[in-house]
Chain A
Amino acid sequence: MAEIVLDNVVKRYPDGALAVDNFNLEIADGEFIILVGPSGCGKSTTLNMVAGLEDITQGELRIDGQVVNDKAPKDRDIAMVFQSYALYPHMTVGENMGFPLKLAKVDKSTIQKKVHEAAEMLELTQHLDRKPSNLSGGQRQRVAMGRAIVRQPKAFLMDEPLSNLDAKLRVQMRTQVSRIQKTLGTTTLYVTHDQTEAMTLGDRVVVMRGGIVQQIGSPQHLYDHPANLFVAGFIGSPSMNFVPGRLEGDGIVSALGEARLPDRIRQALERGNGSRDVILGVRPEDFEDARINGDKPGGRFSAPIDVVESMGSDLYAYFTLRGDVASSAELDDLAKDTGNDLHTDGTAMTARLDPTARIRQGDNVELWYNTDKLHIFDAESGRNLVGGDSQSAANAGTGR
């Protein structure tokens, strides 16, 4: 078990591509850290640098206080789980799992004991003599985990370990990964695309974009206080709704109508002295049917509902706001990642309402939104002008 520190780490590939820029992160002993971000943002590159599979162009990587920039992977005592599982096809499951120990010249009986322990934990005992090619995807994934576990390394690195599994298995394995990590208490750095994994697994989440860390913090912290538009849009599903707006006097004017801002937000805005042009962010659950919420303070507007989906516990209402669309490089990046980069006129919005709201498709409904939970971003820089913290502040705390 170990503490891992990335100190201003930079990766530039020989072809000139800057994959990771100035990465700073202190991982405490036993912590579970998640790296998320859209495709190509440098997650795997970061992981590979920690593993020793890629050279570090600049900066320092320390494990337990020791600089390991120039150490070979085998001397770092770190185990890695690959997206492809990377099982050795010519070895049985047992041999695969025991391979790191065999290389470490552990004696045969100890290897066998440890492999059996790990196999029991992963429910692989009856498969130990089979070849990987005869296993199901989930079983292969567990063998890959087993190979990482048996040698009790200082840390686990996992690069999208569950992304080749189908949805149901992924949920199952997710809890298993979490349980294993809790039981062993091994420092873990976990790369994923899947934001449910990011929210549920990690002690802290690192959101990356284009090789640059956007924000580091606990999942709840990122959800409640995103540092910028990108994090706000990336964390949460369905994602936050964005609407362009203008600050005027004590209130804000946008396609969501005119609303008075609560004192807390106003004070924060005054301190920030940003421009008057902003982008409003509203989480789907911060909308409500105006009839239900009655006179509660907040904004009100009406919109024709395009689609209603009832999920039992919640009711999702989709509607489109006419007028300007919030646009920024960050939002474009997000749209590209989710494949939603078709430009329609108007802003597609999602509201998560109480199931008792009696709303039907095609209705023109008056909706209420919670101005207390409003996120306000600078239209130009994308910075959160209200609740978001700066990156350095998030870096300081280890979140444990």
Chain B
Amino acid sequence: MSTQADLSRPAGGGHDADEEAVAIARKRASEGKKAEAKLGMMLCAPAALVMVAVMAYPIAYAFWLSLFRADLRTPDQNEFVGLSNYVTVLSSPIWWTAFGVTAFITVVSVILELVLGMLLAIVMHRTIIGRGLVRTSALVPYAIVTVVAAFSWRFAWSQDLGWLAGSSAPLTDRWSSIAIIILAEVWKTVPFMALLLMAGLALVPEDLHKAAAMDGGSAWQRFWMITVPLVMPSILVAVLFRTLDAFRVFDNIFVLTSGANETSSVSMVAYNNLIRGLNLGIGSTMSVLIFITIAIIAVVFTKLFGAAAPGSDEGGRR
């Protein structure tokens, strides 16, 4: 080994020796690090393999399929068509209508969830009496299976049958249907939002609220100038989770309207093509497009995280 050689050299120029010692120390350290990294890789490998098997492979396969004309009704006519499936989908009004509906549902429901979730989080955070009961009951909607909840909403809004509908039939009209879909989504996920936000609220020291009160802040000012900036990382995580979820909205729409009156989301359209229509090529193309959209959303949010971590000194030390 080279260390042997180094040691055998005369300890002549002290300065030189110093530098060499540093170099050796560095090398040793990096060797240790390397071994550690190797062990780390090996420990991660099984999990990574499973991930590849259940995620990377289907994604890659979907992408592969999206480059073919592949229709299960005519399995003999499979043919490589390049990106022409993408051209077909991206120039189809059905896709863009669904995309618009999905985006609308996503934006509106996430905003509502954030506002209501924050309110609920503050209530749960501040309650002193019956705290456990308040928290448990707030979480009930989240514990109910989405499809079951969706059926309840459907009955509730059925003409002459439902307790909410009366003689109207809101699920037969486009905008009222979308409103009900949003309602069902919001009702179900506000507790989840609140839970994430409450974890953030718990991280804001009580002394900061007191200090802000002493500094002359009203409750409203304290919320906007102290709480919100400090909870921002939690808000971003919660909003990211919900945005990704909401963009893939499926079960509520499937149960409530089945996509009637142009209320399909992109997932519904992809499902209709892929499973109902057996058109693997077009369906896979849509899936890939949904995947890409979601990836873009995720990247944008993660960029925002970096800027939102409170207490970080971007300027660095001087």
Residue of A nearest to B218 (CB): A74
CB distance from B215 to the nearest CB of A (A): 4
Question: Is there an interface contact between B214 and A51, defined as CB atoms closer than 8 Å?
Answer: yes
Q: What's the tally of chain A residues with a CB closer than 8 Å to chain B?
A: 30
Question: Is there an interface contact between A99 and B215, defined as CB atoms closer than 8 Å?
Answer: yes
Interface residues of A in 84-121 (CB under 8 A from B): 84, 86-90, 99-100, 103-104
Question: Is there an interface contact between A88 and B208, defined as CB atoms closer than 8 Å?
Answer: yes
Question: Is there an interface contact between A89 and B310, defined as CB atoms closer than 8 Å?
Answer: yes
Question: Is there an interface contact between A133 and B313, defined as CB atoms closer than 8 Å?
Answer: yes
Question: Is there an interface contact between B217 and A74, defined as CB atoms closer than 8 Å?
Answer: yes
User: CA A151 – CA B218 in complex, angstroms?
Assistant: 17
For residue A131, CB closer than 8 A to chain B, the reply is yes
Question: Is there an interface contact between B230 and A89, defined as CB atoms closer than 8 Å?
Answer: yes
Known: A53-B210, A82-B210, A90-B310. A129 touches B315 (CB 8 A): yes
Question: Is there an interface contact between A82 and B211, defined as CB atoms closer than 8 Å?
Answer: yes
Residue in contact with A103 in the complex, picked from B215, B315, B317, CB distance below 8 Å = B215
Chain A residues with CB under 8 Å of B311's CB are 89-90, 131-133
For residue B169, CB closer than 8 A to chain A, the reply is no
CB distance from A107 to the nearest CB of B (A): 16
Chain B residues with CB under 8 Å of A126's CB are 318
User: CA A157 – CA B312 in complex, angstroms?
Assistant: 29
Q: Mark B18-44, 1 if CB is under 8 A from A, else 0.
A: 000000000000000000000000000
Question: Is there an interface contact between B214 and A131, defined as CB atoms closer than 8 Å?
Answer: no
Size bin of chain B's contact surface: 20 to 34
Chain A residues with CB under 8 Å of B205's CB are 84, 86
Question: Is there an interface contact between B216 and A104, defined as CB atoms closer than 8 Å?
Answer: yes
Question: Is there an interface contact between B214 and A73, defined as CB atoms closer than 8 Å?
Answer: yes
User: CA A126 – CA B217 in complex, angstroms?
Assistant: 27
Interface residues of B in 278-318 (CB under 8 A from A): 310-313, 315, 317-318
Chain B residues with CB under 8 Å of A90's CB are 229-230, 310-311
For residue B179, CB closer than 8 A to chain A, the reply is no
Residue of B nearest to A99 (CB): B215
User: CA A267 – CA B296 in complex, angstroms?
Assistant: 91
For residue B88, CB closer than 8 A to chain A, the reply is no
Give 30 CB contacts A-B under 8 Å: A52-B213, A53-B210, A53-B213, A53-B214, A72-B213, A73-B210, A73-B214, A74-B216, A74-B218, A78-B214, A80-B214, A82-B211, A84-B205, A86-B205, A86-B208, A86-B211, A88-B211, A90-B229, A90-B310, A99-B212, A99-B215, A103-B215, A103-B216, A103-B217, A129-B315, A130-B318, A131-B311, A133-B312, A133-B313, A134-B313
Q: Which 5 A-B pairs have the closest CB atoms?
A: A89-B311, A86-B211, A90-B310, A86-B207, A100-B215
What would 19 more interface pairs be, CB under 8 Å, given A79-B215, A86-B210?
Answer: A53-B214, A73-B210, A74-B213, A74-B216, A80-B211, A86-B207, A88-B211, A88-B226, A89-B230, A89-B311, A90-B229, A99-B212, A99-B225, A100-B215, A130-B318, A131-B312, A131-B313, A134-B317, A147-B215
